[in-house]
Structures are given as C-alpha cells and as structure tokens.
Chain A
Amino acid sequence: MAGIWRTTATAILLVVSLVILFDFAFKNPALQSLATDLSNWAVVVGAFALGIGAYSLILRHGGMIAKKRPVWPYSLLLLVTMFVFTVTGLITGSITSPQYNWIYSTFVMPVSSTLYGMNAFFIASASYRAFKARSWEAIVLLVSAIFLMLKNAPIGGVISPVLPQIGGVIWDFAGATGMRALLIGIGIGTLALGLRVIIGQEKTPLGGAE
C-alpha cells in the first residue's frame, strides 16, 4: 500500500517538474497556464506547512507538561506564549495591529536579535583561544580576515589609507575566484541532486531510501 503511494508521489514529482521545466523551454499558453496553477498550488501547500512546526511543538511540549518532566514550566511558558500570539493575531485580524505590534516589539524583537547577536561574544573568546595559525592555510585565512576587517571598519582607513586598499584587492580577488568557484560548484551540485530527485534516484526526500 505504502509502495503504491510512494510510486504515485514519485510520478507526481516527475510530471510536475517536467511541466515547469518545459514551460521555461517552450512558450506554450496551455503549458504556461498549467505551470502557473501548479506554482500557485505549491504556494498554498507551503502556507499549510507553516503550521507544521507549531503542531510538532505542541505534541512535544504538551507531552513534557503531561509527564511533568523537570523542564515542564518552560514548556508551559512556550505554549502559553504561542497561544497568546495566535489569539491576539486572530482577534485583531492583522499582524500589524497596535496590540500585536506591542507584543511583537516587546517579546520577539529583543530576544530574537539578542540571541542572534550572541555569536559576536563567542567569536571574540574563540579569537583569543582557538584561532591559532597552525598551518600555512590558517595563516592565509587569518591574514586575509584581518585585512578585510580593516577594510570593513572605517578605522582601517584612518590608521592608514593603504590598509583598506589591500583589503579591497583581497576582496575583489576572493569575489572573482573563490566565491565564484563556490557558486559554480553549488550550482552544478544542486543541479545534479535536483535531477536525481526528479527522476526518482534519490528516495530520501519522499521518505526512506530503497
């Protein structure tokens, strides 16, 4: 039974992909209309996917509260916050209403940005402890990083106008060589993997390798 559904899913994957790829290659009105509809449908399914994280969290943290695990008060806080945001958004009818804006600015904005910026401190302590130039490659990495930091910060140009110029040369070189190579490599790799998934050679995205 599951095998039939997996085959169906693989067939849908192939057919839909071909419709969208052929739409790009051949300008056919019927194909264009079908490709547009399929894209719009995928957008709708994507909207449903937004709730998957919530469903999963409710299951997990609800279980922690029910089983009275040691961290259950945090789980309760999480679910209460989720509920408050959901109810506020639905009652006010907009995520830019003054009430929703208030709870967003008060609870989400400061915490989210603080957590994200925390890395700055960890990188600072790592810079003192871990960034040792043990090899020639590491020396190249650290020297280029230092010159680029002096290019990024205005103080580099104040110390000496040569420093940001050297940083600029390194930046242009990195952009035209290393970054370009990475993008080409990623593009080819994604293309290869994407084609393997489309023709059904990669089974994992649809659940289980065979």
Chain B
Amino acid sequence: MIDSATLSILISTTLILAIYTILYRENPAFRIGEHLMVGATVGHAIVLAIFQIRDLAWRKFQSGFATGNLSGIAYIIPMILGVFLYFQFSSKLRYLARISIALMLAVGLSLSIRGLIFVNVIGQIQGALAPLTSIQNIVYMIGVVCALLYFVYEQRASKLAGPLPKIGRYVLMLTMGAYFANTIMGRLSIVIGTLTSVFVAPAWYLIPVAFLIVIADVFIRRKSSTAS
C-alpha cells in the first residue's frame, strides 16, 4: 500500500517528465500537464477570492451592520462594484464594469505615481548626481546621460548631441547583456529545483522509464516513416 507522500512524489514526477516531453515533440502528455496547471491555478484563485471577500469586506459589513457603524456598512459599495466587474462579459451591462475599473485604476495609478516620482525619478537622479571627483563617477555620469538620450530620443536626438546617443546604445547593449546573463541564471535555478525534486527515491526510477518511452517512440516513428 503506497502512502500519500510517496503517491504525491510519483504523480508529481510523472507530471514533470510529461512536461519535459515537449523538448522531444508536441504530445498529449504535455497538454494534459498544461491544462492541469491552468485549472489548478484558477481554482486556487477562486478559493482565495472567496476568502478575501469574506475577510476584507463581508465581515466588516456584518459587524458594521450589527453595530450601526457607517464605515462598516459602506463596505457594501465595493462589494457591489466587485460584482459589476463581471458585467464586462455582458454586451448590455458592460458600462457598469467601467465604474469598478475606474476605482481600481484611480487608486492603483495614483499610488504608483506617488511612489515612482520619488523612487524611480528623483531617487535615481540623485543617485546619478554623485560628485564628479573620481573617474568612476565621471564615467557613470556620462553613461547615464548617453543611455537616457538614446532611450528617450533614439534616432530623433538632435545633431547637437553628436555621438552621445550612439554611446548610449552601447551602454544599453551592455545592460541587456546583464539581463541576458541573469535570465540564464534564473531559469537554470528553476530547473535545478525541479531536478532536485526528481532525483529522490522512488521518483528517479521513473526517469529511465521516460527515456525508454521516448527512444521507443523515435524508433517507431522512424520505422513508420521508412515504411511509408
């Protein structure tokens, strides 16, 4: 009799190997894994949505209603607005969803603007304005100006700017190299994590089974293609 932990390892390893079969070719095993994941993720979101609405709104509305507290009772408004969001799927009542979107957009945008001004714009410009007392700071300052000139204006930069936008292009290419190197490191880390979960007993016994299935498929397809 298999215990639940072993069953979990076997099923999850089978799913991992099924997903990896896409590296060989498109096949139903990969599709099954893909659809399982989408269904699970969305089911998870539904559960969370229900719990969040209960904890963030319904309970406050209930206690407000019980005690006559207006700010608690007012939570009926966002709950109604939340329901309005689903009207975007209706051609007749779509306009109601705009109210809900307007509220979310307004709060999200204004909060972002407040933060971005200080963090991305002022903070970064302050960081760039280091005293030009060392070669490093001078080089960094030239690099930022050139990169900004290219990033904002591209080919439209004035002739007065001279070669600066072109230098900025190279600075940005250097930065893209950094993103590329980090992307590789990130993806490799995820694969390492996946393989670490597969290289445990009894999961690793499924690896040679998967390889044998793939090799068998290769030979069967070769045979059928030479026969036809």
Contacts and interface: CB of A to CB of B under 8 A. Distances in A.
Interface of A: 1-2, 5-6, 8-10, 12-18, 20-21, 24, 37-57, 59, 71, 74-75, 77-86, 89-90, 95, 102-121, 123, 136-138, 140-146, 148-149, 151-153, 170-171, 173-188, 190-191, 194-195, 197-198, 205-207
Nearest to B149: A181
Contacts of A90: 47, 50
A116 to B, nearest CB: 5
A18 B109 CA distance: 11
B113 A191 contact: yes
B47 A20 contact: no
B177 to A, nearest CB: 3
Contacts of A207: 94-95, 97-98, 101
A179 B41 CA distance: 33
B74 to A, nearest CB: 7
Contact of A114 (B20, B114, B139): B20
A56 to B, nearest CB: 7
Given A13-B105, A137-B169, A149 B187 contact: no
Contacts of A142: 177
A184 B148 contact: yes
A97 B51 CA distance: 14
Contact of A118 (B22, B102, B103, B185): B22
Contacts of B37: 107-108, 111-112, 115
A85 B182 contact: no
B89 A59 contact: yes
B45 interface: yes
A41 B184 contact: no
A50 B48 contact: yes
Nearest to B148: A181
A57 B35 CA distance: 11
B86 interface: yes
A85 B103 CA distance: 30
Interface string B174-185: 111110111111
A81 B44 contact: no
